[in-house]
Structure 1
């Protein structure tokens, strides 16, 4: 049994495709398929149903998915704890944060919540929402800072992770002030987030069934809110941007509303952690938060 087999199993369950899962795991498809077969041979049962349309979990696969994710996280945390006990790691508190919050919210917030935890340093991993979730699930970080919306469920298993709201934000539909205000909104190009973006999930939920508002096919896509803001500033279209990120550009008059306030999306900012015990420093930080 190898730990990478569990990681491959979770990736295939998430992506539903050998091609996409192998790409996400940065290995060739044949090598990825061999590792999945090795896991199934070790388990003694088939875990996936293969069809031309994609891959789905068998009943046995669905049964072990949650426990496999938890087992993998526990093993990674065990390694980190062992290194801390042996003195091979400083009392560093790692965080994963989505790009937009890394640029704006995190620096101010971490200064304000200095709770006297036994921390020698803070390490911030900035990534897409999908990348941050992977770091948390794999046990590489104890905390994930991200935007959340009550109507959009997190893909993280609720029984394995918990969160606290630590801030608020708002997504605004913005465009360059140089674009003529007389252009109907449905004729404006749409600057969209990719599937890897947590903000993309939230905006997609808000726009579902609202094809008449903007062009259905995105004119440009990125998982980075900062990139979409740059495109909007250049007059390339409309983007839903966090107010915390675009505050200065709005104040300067370079970005203006493309849609009225009814299209604003109120966001929560959450800090998420595994339910399982964390390091002493992380637990102190969480309890005093």
Structure 2
């Protein structure tokens, strides 16, 4: 039994005429009559009294009409809901971001723009390396990629010519350590050859690692480290630094609360800070209404989001 057969029966009950009902349903009368006959066979009862003029429904037909109206109405409402869901899904924007930006920037940023309902975080991306974000944009796995980007010159083996970007904020990586008994950093930059600092480093193929290495290479004074751990996640670096295992660079947004609480302190002067931009990338050829609306909103933003308030010792 098909839904259109039920709609046929409703049309017949309304017009009380086979030809007019067939015209309404855009089928020939023989086809229409055959469908009504199939309904009667399926229900095992005569539904239409064909001896009256105009024709009438039998008691079984009246009962069956109520079922037809209930079923077709449910189908119509469900179809409308599905269509709305499909349209909303088509407008949604999938954004990939590292865990630190997902936790410490993205919610407030979306709230500021009023885009909480439109933009959906792509949680599989929280442990990706930088190249993974652009590969995902290339294959339409996500619509946007939110990532850190070095302000200073930094060699990155990455072709970004197929992508547009907007700078939406600023950040800086700050070297941090736990404090000793008198409040000074237990591990203080730059270290020495004889006593290299234990370093909680980032993945060597990651952007943060490259940005830190490029920044250190420009310093007039050499720094000395013994890498004791490598991680993709800033939260892992923060935890190990907080446990006193060594020094590590953290985004200011990630570190701010621990600094305010005095749990972490600067491991060096402001010259050791690594300036970063926060960029939002999209593929040039990826377009849909939700993405275009968001991109247009960014065009009218006044200033990028700055990092949090100055850290202790930032002016040193």
TM-score of the superposed pair, with normalisation by structure 2: 0.58
State the match for 2:55 in structure 1.
none
Equivalenced residues, count: 203
Q: How does 1:108-147 map to 2 (within 5 A)?
A: 108-114=108-114, 122-125=120-123, 126-130=126-130, 131-147=132-148
Deviations 1:124-143, CA, capped at 9 Å, x for gaps: 33232333333223221111
Q: 1:153 to 1:161 in 2, by over 3 A?
A: farther
Instruction: Give the drift of 1:198.
Output: 2.1
Deviates more, 1:234-243 or 1:273-282: 273-282
Computing the radius of gyration from Cα coordinates, the structure with the larger value is 2
Q: Decide whether the 8 Å contact of 2:177 with 2:186 is kept in 1.
A: no
Distance 2:217 2:246 in 1: 19
Q: 1:219 to 1:276 in 2, by over 3 A?
A: same
Q: Runs of 5+ in structure 2 lacking a partner?
A: 1-82, 299-316
2:224 paired residue among 209, 214, 223: 214
State the match for 1:60 in structure 2.
none
Distance 1:231 1:120 in 2: 36
2:312 aligned with 1:286: no
Deviations 1:215-252, CA, capped at 9 Å, x for gaps: 1x411111111100100001111101000001000000
Q: Runs of 5+ in structure 1 lacking a partner?
A: 1-83
Q: Secondary structure at the match of 1:189?
A: strand
Q: 1:154 to 1:115 in 2, by over 3 A?
A: farther
Distance 1:200 1:206 in 2: 10
Q: Decide whether the 8 Å contact of 1:250 with 1:256 is kept in 2.
A: yes
Distance 1:247 1:129 in 2: 24
2:253 paired residue among 244, 247, 259: 244
Deviates more, 1:87-96 or 1:247-256: 87-96
Q: How does 1:23-172 map to 2 (within 5 A)?
A: 87=86, 90=89, 91-114=91-114, 122-125=120-123, 126-130=126-130, 131-150=132-151, 151-152=153-154, 155-172=157-174
Instruction: Give the drift of 1:280.
Output: 1.6
Runs of 4+ in 1 over 4 A off after TM superposition: 153-156, 179-184
